[in-house]
Every structure is written in structure tokens, then in C-alpha cells.
Amino acid sequence: MDKKKIDELIAILKKNDLSEVTVEENGVKMTVRQGDITIVEGGGALPHVGGHAPVAKTALSGEAAELAELETKYTALVSPMVGTFYQAPAPGADVFVAEGDSFEAGQTLCVVEAMKLMNDIVADEAGRVVKIVAADGSSVQFGQTLLFFEPLV
């Protein structure tokens, strides 16, 4: 999908005061929402979940300022897909990790449920959880920060 098509979708969104527009073309599904764009290519591999998620660097207050500060100091674990975030494998079970917990590479940190499938989100490296950003049971978007962690050497 080219930039012209993306601009057209954004124009449709604004002109009709919509909160979301979805189009599928040649195996590429694009959803444009107020404030974010999600691109999902059919059959593609999931993206790397480590790295920093972008945070606006404008005049921020409260929670947004805290997230911006965390983003500059720590590594963000981001969602590789759209779905529902869970901190535990089942209702009433112990959480995979809590703030302050250390974890090893290959350890499951959380689950994102997508289309009735539970997808373990596994650590690429050892670390310590600094802040869990996503609320248990909340909807998450592709690329949304789930938690911040400090890599352990």
C-alpha cells in the first residue's frame, strides 16, 4: 500500500468523523485509527518485540511524562500483535512477572490473546521488570508498550 492510499484513508477518517477505517488490498490489511496506524501483512513473521516504542516528546504531564522518562532509560517490550494482554496464564493464577522481578532469556513474560489463541510473549534477553504499562485484560495494539525492563548483563 502506498503513501497516497494511506493519505486517502486518513482523509476519509477525518472527513466523516470516524474513529477507525479498515481496508484490505493484495493480502495487506490496514487499519487507521485516531492516533495510530496498524499494518498487518498476511502470513508474515511476527516482529521483534524488544526495542523502544515511540513516545511523544511534547509538553507532558502525569502518566505520559512518566512513560516518556521510562522510555528514555529502559527497554520497552512491545506487543507483536493486536489482542488482549494478560499477566497470568489463567484467571486466578500467579502472574508471569511482577514489577521488580528478574527474568531470564526465553522466559514467558505475559500473554497476548488474538483470535482465541494465547500467544506467549517471551523475553529475548535477561532483565528486570521496571514498570508494567498495559492493564491486565486490556486491549493492546501492534507495537504498543506492554512493560519496561532493564536488561541484565
Residues with Cβ within 8 Å of 1's Cβ and at least 6 positions away in sequence, in order, are 23, 25, 28, 30, 39
**Residue ranges in the chain assigned as alpha helix (H):** 3-15, 63-73
Whether 50 is covered by a domain: the verdict is: no
Question: Which residues, in sequence order, are CB contacts of 28 under 8 Å at separation 6+?
Answer: 1, 39, 40, 41, 42
Question: CATH number, domain at 119?
Answer: 2.40.50.100
C-alpha distance across the termini of the chain, in Å: 41
Same domain, 30 and 68: no
**What Å distances lie between residue 87 and 68, 100, 101, 152, CA to CA?**
23, 14, 13, 21
> By residue range, what is the domain housing residue 126?
63-151
Tell me the whole-structure pTM to 2 decimals. 0.59
Question: Do residues 37 and 71 share a domain?
Answer: no
Pairing label, strands 145-151, 75-78: antiparallel
Q: In the chain, how many domains are there?
A: 2
Residues 16 and 86 in one domain: no
pLDDT of residue 118: 92
Residue showing cell 516528546: 57
Domain assignment present for residue 22? The answer is yes
pLDDT of residue 76: 92
- Same domain for 73 and 109, yes or no, is yes
Please report, in tens digits, the pLDDT of each residue of the chain (153 residues total): 566 777 777 777 677 777 777 777 766 667 776 654 444 444 333 344 444 444 444 444 577 778 888 888 999 999 999 999 999 999 999 999 999 999 999 999 999 999 889 999 999 999 999 999 999 999 999 999 999 999 987
110 and 79 part of one domain: yes
83 & 9 share domain? no
Residue with cell 522481578: 101
- The answer to whether position 47 is within a domain reads no
**Within a domain: residue 55?**
no
Measured between alpha carbons, how far is 30 from 37 in angstroms, rounded to an integer?
A: 7
Say whether both 33 and 71 belong to one domain: no
Residues 82 and 141 in one domain: yes
User: Residue 110: what pLDDT?
Assistant: 96
